[in-house]
Amino acid sequence: MKKTTAYALSLALLTAALTLQVQPSAAAAKKTELLVSAAASLKDSLDVIEKTYEKKHPDIDLVFNYGSSGTLQKQIEQGAPADIFFSAGRKQMDTLVKESLIGDHATLLKNVLVMVVPANSKFTFTTVKELTNKSIKKIAVGQPESVPAGQYAKETLTTRNVWNPLQSKLVYAKDVRQVLTYVETGNVDAGFVYKTDALTSSKVKIALKITDDVHSPILYPAGVVKETKHAAEAKAFYAYLQTNEANAVFVKFGFKN
């Protein structure tokens, strides 16, 4: 009888221990998941901000959905879940605001468009017009309709009267990070990305800095999605993105105020 009782007790303790291992802790269960739909060019800086914010707010689990601003805009319009939208273009944010899908919003950052080439490239440039040279075979740009960096690249090349002559050389990418990858791997001779993207890679070099008078201002607005189920938490993180602490991270990665 004693052996049976001891065995039953041991089995009960083992079952309890296993139950504790497989079930989430009370603290983990209480975490609020915030989904941030953000432009691909923000990934490096937001990765740092994620760690800092979650450390200070252990009840928050930040989840990021990165992509082109146009694609993220469409997802929100189609009802995909999101709490915060952080765009690389005003056009996409303004559209969602007009559609009453975004509540609180503000422009937080600025960026610079650059033309990059592979790190081992022998090509040098003094103007984008030199892209029409026969030695240049392929040029990567983001899809102008959905990728703000692609829109700015198109505006630049149109202003310089080379957009149409370059059509046969253009390789379109789904977002600015794909443009960067195309250049890094040498699949194209040049590509248009943000300065912040170029600074993250040792496999490319900046061949030209594009002056801001040949394209629309490169602005990064952030806003709270009206359909969020975590309004208080979303507004708190939105407010944090505007603090000096968050701004210091953005500046470190090459963004401007």
pLDDT value, residue 29: 59
211 φ/ψ angles, rounded to the nearest 5 degrees: -70, 145
pLDDT value, residue 76: 98
pLDDT value, residue 201: 96
Rounded CA-CA distance 123/227 in Å is 49
Rounded CA-CA distance 59/75 in Å is 27
Q: Side-chain half-sphere of 128: how many Cα atoms within 13 Å?
A: 24
Report pTM. Answer: 0.84
H or E segment and range at residue 31: none
Domain 26-110+220-252: which CATH number of 3.30.70.20, 3.90.1150.10, 3.40.190.10, 3.40.50.720: 3.40.190.10
Domain boundaries, the chain: 26-110+220-252, 113-209
Fold match flag (26-110+220-252 vs 113-209): yes
Strand order across the beta sheet in which 204-209 lies: 170-173, 139-142, 190-194, 113-118, 204-209
**Binding annotation for molybdate:** 41, 69, 149, 176, 194
pLDDT value, residue 20: 46
**Binding annotation:** 41, 69, 149, 176, 194
What is the residue-level pLDDT of the chain in tens, covering all 257 positions? 444 444 444 444 444 444 444 454 444 458 999 999 999 999 999 999 999 999 999 999 999 999 999 999 999 999 999 999 999 999 999 999 999 999 999 999 999 999 999 999 999 999 999 999 999 999 999 999 999 999 999 999 999 999 999 999 999 999 999 999 999 999 999 999 999 999 999 999 999 999 999 999 999 999 999 999 999 999 999 999 999 999 999 999 999 98
pLDDT value, residue 2: 46
Q: Are strands 84-86 and 190-194 parallel, antiparallel or unpaired?
A: unpaired
Buried-exposed string 75-90: b where 16+ CB fall within 10 A, e elsewhere: bbeeeeebbbbbbbbb
The distance from CA 118 to its chain's CA centroid, rounded to whole angstroms, is 22
Domain 113-209: which CATH number of 3.40.190.10, 3.30.70.20, 3.40.50.2000, 3.30.565.10: 3.40.190.10
pLDDT value, residue 30: 81
Q: Are strands 170-173 and 113-118 parallel, antiparallel or unpaired?
A: unpaired
Number of H helices, E strands in the chain: 10, 10
pLDDT value, residue 218: 97
